[in-house]
């Protein structure tokens, strides 16, 4: 199994309702595991509701350190583990917290049973805090099987349509547009429209394939030891682990697919840094530790 990127685990946690298995520690030191319904804030904070007198509620008050696992039980199987401490809010009028956590059934045993228990026992909104007791960032770790087969589609539809219009997609400065995101494809792939003017140096993706399709103008690709002159209609395949880069003629455009998904955040951060005036080499070296894009020598802008 391969390790998920940040883009992939965020998509995994948010693309569809999932239960998580929450682990706490009982008063006598024994572990306790319970299924919960979760939601995720923009900063990666996990939100869920519990009851003040429940076993997990009492355990969290006594020891706020928790671990939860969210998994997909369909072959070849994927999961995300979140470790950290929790904060408890008793403000049930907080729409940002309660509104999110209440979008799903109150209890795994069914909504009616959950509502009856809610009347008897006060709720608490629980948030996974940004740091563990030693002050380190909260850890998310995800593993995913390659070549995942789905019985049902995980693809998200925007605006009620499967069509993506020319003006649709997130604008990425110096790059182009993100036309299909990881969240939309269920983590299977991302589709980008390259318009430049950023020119990538030779680099490597260790866990992802790319396919480029030339729309306009001319590109010169380096893929491994091969130099490819690509005109409109040409497709260029880049297997994972292969050093590659390209230089476009002015005004050249292309579509490219990244599979599996996981580079949307890289291009977003890269474009923002270039727009702020930072050098390509500086920001790419910094981002290599966070995303699956690693410099491999060669010229670039």
56 and 184 share one domain: no
Q: What is the mean pLDDT of the chain?
A: 75
- Residue 177 is assigned to a structural domain of this protein: yes
Q: What confidence category does residue 219 fall into, taking pLDDT thresholds of 50, 70 and 90?
A: very high
199 and 289 share one domain: yes
pTM score > 0.75 for this model? Answer: no
- Residue 175 is assigned to a structural domain of this protein: yes
Query: Would you state the pLDDT for residue 93?
Result: 53
Among candidate residues 129, 144, 159, the one where a domain is terminated:
144
Give 172's strand partners: 176
248 and 134 share one domain: no
Q: 255-292: per-residue pLDDT in tens?
A: 999 998 888 888 888 888 888 888 888 888 888 778 88
42 and 119 share one domain: yes
Q: 6-36: per-residue pLDDT in tens?
A: 778 778 877 767 788 999 988 888 899 999 8
18 and 134 share one domain: yes
- Residue 162 is assigned to a structural domain of this protein: no
Q: What percent of the chain has pLDDT over 70?
A: 72
137 and 200 share one domain: no
118 and 209 share one domain: no
Query: Would you state the pLDDT for residue 193?
Result: 96
The residue-averaged pLDDT of 107-128 equals 40
Q: 174-190: per-residue pLDDT in tens?
A: 889 999 988 788 788 99
134 and 262 share one domain: no
Among candidate residues 74, 109, 144, the one where a domain is terminated:
144
Sign of CA dihedral 49, 53, 56, 60: positive
- CA angle at 256 for the pair 253 and 262, rounded to the nearest 5°: 135
List the structure tokens of 31.
């572990």
Q: What confidence category does residue 246 fall into, taking pLDDT thresholds of 50, 70 and 90?
A: very high
- Residue 161 is assigned to a structural domain of this protein: no
101 and 181 share one domain: no
Query: Would you state the pLDDT for residue 166?
Result: 86
CATH code, 117? 2.30.110.10
Q: List the domain range (segments joined by +) for residue 135.
A: 2-144
- Residue 158 is assigned to a structural domain of this protein: no
Query: Would you state the pLDDT for residue 164?
Result: 83
- Residue 160 is assigned to a structural domain of this protein: no
- Residue 300 is assigned to a structural domain of this protein: no
Q: 193-210: per-residue pLDDT in tens?
A: 999 888 888 999 988 999
133 and 182 share one domain: no
CATH code, 288? 2.60.120.10
177 and 135 share one domain: no
The number of distinct structural domains making up the chain is 2
- Residue 163 is assigned to a structural domain of this protein: no
* CA–CA gap between residue 3 and residue 135 (Å, rounded): 24
108 and 214 share one domain: no
Q: What confidence category does residue 127 fall into, taking pLDDT thresholds of 50, 70 and 90?
A: low
């Amino acid at each position: 199994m391969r390790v998920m990127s940040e883009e992939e685990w965020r998509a995994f946690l948010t693309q569809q309702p999932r239960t998580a298995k929450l682990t706490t520690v009982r008063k006598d030191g024994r572990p306790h595991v319970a299924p919960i319904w979760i939601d995720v804030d923009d900063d990666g904070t996990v939100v869920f509701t519990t009851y003040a007198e429940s076993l997990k509620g009492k355990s969290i008050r006594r020891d706020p350190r928790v671990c939860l696992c969210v998994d997909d039980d369909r072959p070849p199987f994927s999961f995300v583990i979140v470790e950290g401490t929790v904060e408890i809010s008793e403000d049930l009028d907080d729409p940002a917290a309660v509104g999110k956590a209440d979008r799903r059934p109150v209890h795994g045993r069914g909504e009616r049973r959950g509502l009856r228990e809610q009347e008897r026992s006060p709720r608490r909104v629980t948030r996974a805090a940004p740091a563990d007791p030693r002050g380190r960032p909260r850890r998310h770790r995800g593993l995913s099987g390659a070549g995942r087969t789905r019985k049902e589609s995980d693809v998200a539809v925007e605006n009620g349509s499967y069509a993506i219009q020319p003006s649709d997609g997130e604008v990425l400065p110096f790059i182009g547009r993100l036309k299909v995101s990881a969240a939309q494809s269920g983590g299977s792939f991302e589709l980008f429209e390259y318009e430049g003017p950023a020119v990538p140096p030779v680099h490597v993706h260790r866990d992802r394939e790319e396919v480029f399709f030339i729309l306009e103008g001319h590109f010169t690709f380096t893929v491994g030891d091969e130099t490819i002159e690509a005109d409109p209609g040409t497709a260029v395949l880049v297997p994972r682990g292969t050093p590659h880069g390209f230089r476009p003629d002015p005004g050249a455009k292309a579509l490219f697919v990244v599979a599996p998904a996981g580079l949307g955040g890289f291009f977003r951060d890269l474009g923002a840094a270039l727009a702020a005036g930072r050098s390509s080499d500086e920001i790419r070296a910094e981002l290599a530790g966070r995303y699956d894009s690693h410099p491999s020598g060669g010229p670039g802008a």
